[in-house]
């Protein structure tokens, strides 16, 4: 673990903001435990993917500028999502022409931006967390974490250090769960079919809990499991790593007990 105390700006992500704020607080707890000072820039809304992936480039560019300005002063930018971090890191620089002053700013931001678990492991040198969770956990790789951010080993390393937790590997971890942002609504039939295949392979591991680093996938997976009457619960990996897996899992009734946690 390094000894400096860098300032990390949290990119909350619009889904965490709206659906599951506890993931944001869990991320802050983990970042502080890793020796970082955390700030939450106020001017953030969304990374712009809904527009970018729908062909609305002008609005994607406008939102990218907003994010670039809001996160300019900080040493690091961390998101509890490979998808939003991937948008900032891999796609923002492509939104601006070589002569646009925002090109260099976007490239600078890209260099400072990380997905949460890879930041903890690769940048902060974390190898374990102080958390306990009873049960078997299957980690779900999001496509953007896996392919855009090189994240797969880091969350598993940290989960393996959770007291009482056992990791299970699903077949075909590289296959998409079918979320795909607006795709999940625009092409709901296809998305739902993909989700069903993913939840089948996750359930086949026998794990009681699915953990993942991207709330979009997790809403999709939890929603499919719930519709099918499964008892498998779904949580963001940050909740488990921060020892914050109390209370209802994703899609569970609000008065449901926080299973798995002691």
Partner 1 sequence: MELTSPRFKANVRDALRKPNLKIAMGRLISTMGPRRLAARAGLPEFERLCDQARDIKNHTLANLDFYLEAYETKLRATGGTLHWCRTPAEARAAILDLCRRADAKTVTKGKSMIAEEIGLNEFLDANGIEPVETDLGEYIIQIAGEAPSHIIAPAVHKTKEEIADLFFAKHQRYGLPKRSEPKDLVDDARKILRPRYIAADVGITGANFLIAETGSSVIVTNEGNGDLTQSLPKMHIVVASLEKLVPTLEDVTTVLRVLARSATGQEFSTYTTFSTGPRRADDLDGPAAYHVILLDNGRSRLLGTEFQDMLRCIRCGACMNNCPVYAAIGGHAYGSTYVGPMGAVLTPSLVGLADSYHLPNASSFCGRCEEVCPMRIPLPKMMRAYREQSFAAKLGPAPERWALAAWAFAAKRPRLYRLASEAAARLLGNHGARRGAFRRLPLAGGWTGGRDLPAPEGRTFHSLWRERQCSLARERQRPGAA
Interaction residues for partner 1, span 218-237 (CB under 8 A): 219-220, 222-224, 226-227
In terms of CB distance, is 160 or 175 closer to partner 1?
175
Binding segment for partner 1 (CB under 8 A), chosen from 96-104, 119-127, 154-162, 191-199, is 191-199
Q: Which of 36, 88, 176, 241 binds partner 1 (CB under 8 A)?
A: 176
Closest separation between CB of residue 198 and partner 1, Å?
Answer: 9
Q: Which helix (H) or strand (E) holds 8?
A: strand 7-10
Q: Are 1 and 125 in contact (CB under 8 A)?
A: yes
Under the phi-then-psi rule, with left for phi > 0, alpha for psi from -120 to 50, and beta for the rest, what region is 105? alpha
Closer to partner 1 by Cβ: residue 16 or 137 = 16
> Using CA atoms, how far apart are residues 225 and 109, in angstroms rounded to an integer?
37
Would you say 39 or 157 has its CB closer to partner 1?
Answer: 39
**Exposed, middle or buried, 192 (CB in 10 Å: 0-12/13-18/19+)?**
middle
CA-to-CA distance for 238 and 31, rounded, in angstroms?
10
Q: Least distance from C-beta 188 to partner 1, angstroms?
A: 3
Q: Which of residues 102-161 bind partner 1 (CB under 8 A)?
A: 143-144, 147-148
Residues between 27 and 86 with contacts to partner 1, criterion CB under 8 A: 40, 42-46, 48, 50-57, 59, 62-63, 66
CB 127 to partner 1: min, Å:
28
CB of 1 to partner 1, least distance (A): 26
Please tell me whether residue 7 binds partner 1 under the rule CB under 8 A: no
On whether the CB atoms of residues 251 and 222 are closer than 8 A, the answer is yes
Q: CA-to-CA distance for 210 and 126, rounded, in angstroms?
A: 22
Integer Cα distance of 149 and 97 in angstroms: 23
Regarding 12 and contact with partner 1 (CB under 8 A), the answer is yes
Q: Which residue lies nearer to partner 1 by CB, 6 or 247?
A: 247
- Torsion angle defined by CA atoms of residues 173, 60, 117 and 144, in that order, rounded to the nearest 10 degrees: 10
Question: Min. distance of Cβ 160 from partner 1 in angstroms?
Answer: 25
Shortest Cβ 114–partner 1 spacing (Å): 19
Residue listed under structure tokens 């990390």: 8
Candidates 111-119, 153-161, 187-195, 237-245; binding stretch for partner 1 (CB under 8 A): 187-195
Pairwise CA distance, residues 213 & 115, whole Å: 8
Nearest by Cα to 223 from 249, 256, 260, 257? 249
């Amino acid at each position: 673990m390094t000894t400096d105390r860098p300032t990390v700006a949290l990119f909350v992500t619009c889904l965490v903001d709206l659906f599951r704020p506890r993931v944001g607080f869990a991320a802050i707890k983990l970042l502080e435990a890793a020796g970082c000072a955390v700030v939450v820039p106020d001017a953030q809304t969304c990374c712009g993917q809904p527009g970018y992936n729908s062909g609305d480039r002008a609005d994607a560019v406008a939102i990218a500028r907003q994010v670039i300005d809001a996160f300019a002063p900080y040493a690091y930018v961390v998101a509890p999502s490979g998808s939003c971090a991937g948008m900032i890191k891999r796609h923002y620089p492509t939104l601006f022409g070589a002569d646009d002053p925002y090109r260099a700013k976007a490239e600078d931001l890209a260099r400072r931006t990380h997905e949460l678990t890879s930041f903890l492991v690769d940048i902060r040198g974390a190898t374990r967390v102080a958390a306990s969770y009873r049960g078997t956990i299957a980690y779900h790789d999001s496509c953007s974490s896996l392919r855009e951010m090189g994240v797969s080993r880091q969350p598993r390393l940290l989960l393996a250090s959770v007291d009482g937790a056992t990791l299970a590997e699903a077949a075909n971890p590289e296959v998409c769960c079918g979320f795909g942002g607006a795709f999940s609504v625009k092409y709901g039939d296809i998305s739902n079919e993909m989700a069903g295949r993913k939840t089948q392979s996750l359930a086949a591991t026998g794990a009681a809990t699915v953990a993942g680093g991207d709330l979009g996938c997790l809403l999709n997976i939890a929603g499919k499991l719930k519709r099918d009457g499964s008892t498998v619960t779904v949580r963001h990996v940050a909740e488990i790593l921060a020892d914050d897996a109390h209370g209802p899992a994703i899609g569970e009734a609000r008065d449901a007990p926080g299973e798995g946690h002691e």
